[in-house]
């Protein structure tokens, strides 16, 4: 068993690695210094484990470095590659827990499984020579393709089409007779086949054509839709996505080597001849099996189908309707699934939809241009505010001038709001990916789990859309693996054998609330408390509320799982999820009831570029406290203040609750006008279920703040999360209350 010093050294490395793994984003793979730092971290961690006589742990860390190198060099598709990377990392994390507990044998079993496991389907395929031609597909690519706008547009539209097809396939799994869904899936593969053929992309076209052949039989009512067919089409969709990823890598191919931090040398964008091949054997095998004469005949729709086996047959369309379907997919979707109305009514409605489509012209704009535009409008808002509050302008008695400035202010605010709205996207883009995750996790765990989604049209900033997927995915994995019971366990306690996970989003004032609720076993209060005591997080004499105990789920190494699995370990990595949410200026909390289920609630701002803040004064300095963190403000009375040890007025008594006071002027070492709490203003902020008071000189006003990064020089400035230019031209520093509290000596203070 490891000694305390060794475990402490490993835990430091583990925490840093967990944070880096959970925070990986697509843009990070364009930042070689960032990825190089992670590679160096993995290498140092591996050396540490070698030094402690743990070669299996060292081996898996080196494998993680290899996988990360494959992704950054685009030798493996980003999404699937990153998912595999994170799964291996989770198993490594789980094995560490067992190592801490002294269970060396089981820890090594997990590591060996993580390094050696392959899907059963793939292992079976490796022994078959018939599909060997599909094992290492590398598409034909020429230099001319790099500047081909038609190809670039095709890649973008195909990615979007495949994502929608996957979403529709998962909906179809709930209702095999949804003809609208069947027709829309058919059109996706039909379009990919035709355009790929036109562009000379034979591999893409061939797989799309084979999939379309199967969809034709279903779409024309020749055979019933089955779960086997859905699995085959999902597999083909994955294959096409991999081909698209490979094509993107090849188009961007460069033959230059780049040196990363730590001496690692990788081809950032690979040369065509070095691109990782795509394995399509499983997709072709499944499709060929279903298209074989024997299987096809056995699954044909009978002449007198029963209600249980009937397959929806598409209605007959006129030539005019077929033309509309080909040229306007939106109209085609309406045509194929309109209820029992007359043909004349269907055409009229379709023409209305076509007209609406023609009125709304759509433009595709690179995301970085919108980012630049947002930056410019932010600067404009600040500049106008500084101008309006300039003493020379403010003291002028020219009413017309002030009217013009007010009008310009209103126009600028409207322009800012319109530009920000362009960056707002529905959370559906994230929720749809989680639907597929839930389906796969349910099958892998052997549990029956149904995912229900509400509020997926809720709009939120693109930055949050790009960042929230990983935390939600991790919560989902933990929920399925350790929250939802097995069918037998659920039946024994009188629950339906199928568990339910509800994913929802809705606006809450100027914030968005995302909830993940399950009807599983709930968190075990006593186990969480015991684990916290075991790890020294609390003392036995501390009297904690249930909510404070449940929040330990977000602490590294605290787990309620009875056993560690290769999907997840509940609590392991949840601290990183919490940090990721807080990095987006959000808050996460948990609600649970034993035997009834658990809910994770994530509250996020609608945008991370502009926040609502409370501007406070501390001497000559201005600070901004995010409104989401502020509980209340007050001027304390003498009888509300409480002395601790040798310091006077160290705590505030409010409604029977002891609230530690933090003197900001001491923390930042700045001059303040007020030195004692009874003469100051206390801003009470919340950290979990506990509250802390920040002592300031004066509350100035509440306003929307355009957040600015402070640059690398101030990146490690404790307690500061950003900056802004205030209306009077001063720089205001944005406070991070949680960091302040962690760094303050008050956090460790014992009150008798």
Per-residue pLDDT at 264 = 41
DSSP 748: G
- Predicted TM-score (pTM) above 0.75: no
pLDDT tens digits along 579-590 = 888 888 788 888
pLDDT at position 322 over 60: no
Per-residue pLDDT at 276 = 80
- Contacts (Cβ under 8 Å, ≥6 apart) of 11: 556, 557
More confident residue, 447 or 129: 447
Q: How far apart are alpha carbons 680 and 677 in whole angstroms? A: 5
pLDDT at position 303 over 60: no
Token representation of residue 32: 């070689």
Handedness of CA 625, 631, 632, 638 (dihedral sign): negative
pLDDT tens digits along 29-43 = 555 667 777 888 888
- Asked if 57 contacts 49 with a C-beta cutoff of 8 angstroms, the reply is yes
Per-residue pLDDT at 501 = 93
Per-residue pLDDT at 147 = 66
- Contacts (Cβ under 8 Å, ≥6 apart) of 130: none
Per-residue pLDDT at 8 = 83
Token representation of residue 282: 């499983």
- With H, G, I as helix, E, B as strand and everything else as coil, classify residue 632: strand
- Asked if 260 contacts 39 with a C-beta cutoff of 8 angstroms, the reply is yes
- Asked if 607 contacts 467 with a C-beta cutoff of 8 angstroms, the reply is no
pLDDT mean across residues, the chain:
75
**Mean pLDDT, to the nearest integer, of 475-498?**
90
For every residue of 185-246, DSSP letters joined together read: HHHHHHHHHHHHHHHT-HHHHHHHHHHHHHHHHHHTTSB---HHHHHHHHHHHHHHHHHHHH
What distance lies between CA 205 and its chain's CA centroid? 32
Per-residue pLDDT band at 560 (split at 50, 70, 90): low
Neighbours of 98 (CB within 10 A): 20
For every residue of 391-423, DSSP letters joined together read: HHHHT---HHHHHHHHHHHHHHHHHHHHHHHHT
pLDDT at position 267 over 70: no
**Mean pLDDT, to the nearest integer, of 16-39?**
71
Q: How far apart are alpha carbons 113 and 329 in whole angstroms? A: 46
Find the length of the chain. 752
Q: Which alpha helices (H) appear in 221-318, and where do they start and end?
A: 227-251, 281-291, 293-298
Q: How far apart are alpha carbons 489 and 477 in whole angstroms? A: 19
Per-residue pLDDT at 79 = 66
Per-residue pLDDT at 27 = 59
- Asked if 301 contacts 223 with a C-beta cutoff of 8 angstroms, the reply is yes
Per-residue pLDDT at 361 = 61
DSSP 30: G
Neighbours of 330 (CB within 10 A): 14
pLDDT at position 270 over 60: no
Per-residue pLDDT at 307 = 35
DSSP 680: S
Q: How far apart are alpha carbons 134 and 609 in whole angstroms? A: 47
- Contacts (Cβ under 8 Å, ≥6 apart) of 644: 650, 651, 749, 751
Per-residue pLDDT at 259 = 39
pLDDT tens digits along 164-198 = 888 888 888 877 888 888 888 998 998 888 888 77
More confident residue, 751 or 104: 104
């Amino acid at each position: 068993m490891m000694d305390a010093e060794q475990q402490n050294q490993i835990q430091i490395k583990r925490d840093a690695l967990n944070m880096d793994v959970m925070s990986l984003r697509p843009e990070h793979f364009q930042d070689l210094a960032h990825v190089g730092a992670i590679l160096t971290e993995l290498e140092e961690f591996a050396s540490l484990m070698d030094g402690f006589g743990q070669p299996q742990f060292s081996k898996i860390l080196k494998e993680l470095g290899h996988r990360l190198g494959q992704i950054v060099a685009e030798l493996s598709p980003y999404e699937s590659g990153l998912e595999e990377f994170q799964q291996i990392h989770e198993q490594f994390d789980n094995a560490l827990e067992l190592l801490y507990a002294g269970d060396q044998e089981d820890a090594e079993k997990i590591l060996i499984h993580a390094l050696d496991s392959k899907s059963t389907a793939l292992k079976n395929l490796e022994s078959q020579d018939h599909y060997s031609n599909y094992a290492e597909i590398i598409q034909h690519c020429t230099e001319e393709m790099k500047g081909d706008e038609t190809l670039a547009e095709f890649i973008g539209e195909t990615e979007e089409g495949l994502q929608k097809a996957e979403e529709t396939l998962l909906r179809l799994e709930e209702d095999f007779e949804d003809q609208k869904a069947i027709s829309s899936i058919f059109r996706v593969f039909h379009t990919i086949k035709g355009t790929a053929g036109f562009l000379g992309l034979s591999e893409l076209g061939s797989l799309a054509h084979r999939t379309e052949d199967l969809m034709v039989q279903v779409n024309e009512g020749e055979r019933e839709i089955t779960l086997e067919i859905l699995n085959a089409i999902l597999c083909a969709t994955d294959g096409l996505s991999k081909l698209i990823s490979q094509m993107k890598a090849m188009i961007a191919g460069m033959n230059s080597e780049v040196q990363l931090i730590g001496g690692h040398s990788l081809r950032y964008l690979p040369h065509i001849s070095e691109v990782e091949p795509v394995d399509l054997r499983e997709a072709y095998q499944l499709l060929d099996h279903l298209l074989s004469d024997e299987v096809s005949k056995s699954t044909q729709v009978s002449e007198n189908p029963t209600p249980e086996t009937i397959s929806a047959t598409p209605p007959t369309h006129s030539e005019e309707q077929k033309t509309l379907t080909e040229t306007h997919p939106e109209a085609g979707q309406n045509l194929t699934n309109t209820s029992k109305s007359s043909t004349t009514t269907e055409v009229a409605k379709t023409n209305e939809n076509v007209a609406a489509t023609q009125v709304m012209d759509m433009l595709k704009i690179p995301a970085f241009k919108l980012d630049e535009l947002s930056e410019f409008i932010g600067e404009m808002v600040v500049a106008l505010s500084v101008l309006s509050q300039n003493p020379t302008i403010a003291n002028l008695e020219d009413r017309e001038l002030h009217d013009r400035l007010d009008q310009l202010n209103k126009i600028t605010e409207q322009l800012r709001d319109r530009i920000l709205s362009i960056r707002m996207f529905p959370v559906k883009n994230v929720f749809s990916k989680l639907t597929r995750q839930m389906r796969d996790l349910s099958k892998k765990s052997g549990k029956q789990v149904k995912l229900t989604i509400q509020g997926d049209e809720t709009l939120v900033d693109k930055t949050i859309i790009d960042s929230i997927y990983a935390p939600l995915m991790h919560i989902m994995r933990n929920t399925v693996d350790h929250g939802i019971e097995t069918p037998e366990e659920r039946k024994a306690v009188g629950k339906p054998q199928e568990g339910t996970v509800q994913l929802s989003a809705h606006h809450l004032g100027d914030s968005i609330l995302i909830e993940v609720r399950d009807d599983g076993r709930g968190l075990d209060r006593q186990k969480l408390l015991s684990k916290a005591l075991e790890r020294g997080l609390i003392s036995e004499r501390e009297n904690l509320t249930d909510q404070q105990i449940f929040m330990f789920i977000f602490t590294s190494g605290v787990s309620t799982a009875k056993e560690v699995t290769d999907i997840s370990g509940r609590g392991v990595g949840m601290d990183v999820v919490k940090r990721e949410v807080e990095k987006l200026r959000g808050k996460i909390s948990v609600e649970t009831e034993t035997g009834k289920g658990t809910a994770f609630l994530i509250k996020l701002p609608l945008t991370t570029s502009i926040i609502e803040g409370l501007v406070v004064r501390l001497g000559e300095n201005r600070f901004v406290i995010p409104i989401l963190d502020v509980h209340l403000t007050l001027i304390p009375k003498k009888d509300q203040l409480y002395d601790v040890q040798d310091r006077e007025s160290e705590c505030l008594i409010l409604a029977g609750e002891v609230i530690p006071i933090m003197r900001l002027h001491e923390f930042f070492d700045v001059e303040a006008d007020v030195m004692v709490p009874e003469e100051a203003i206390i801003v009470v902020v919340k950290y979990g279920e506990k509250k802390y008071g920040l002592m300031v000189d004066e509350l100035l006003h509440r306003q929307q703040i355009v957040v600015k990064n402070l640059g690398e020089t101030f990146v490690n400035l404790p307690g500061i999360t950003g900056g802004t230019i205030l209306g009077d031209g001063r720089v205001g520093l944005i406070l991070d209350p949680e960091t302040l509290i962690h760094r303050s000596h008050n956090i460790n203070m014992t009150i008798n």
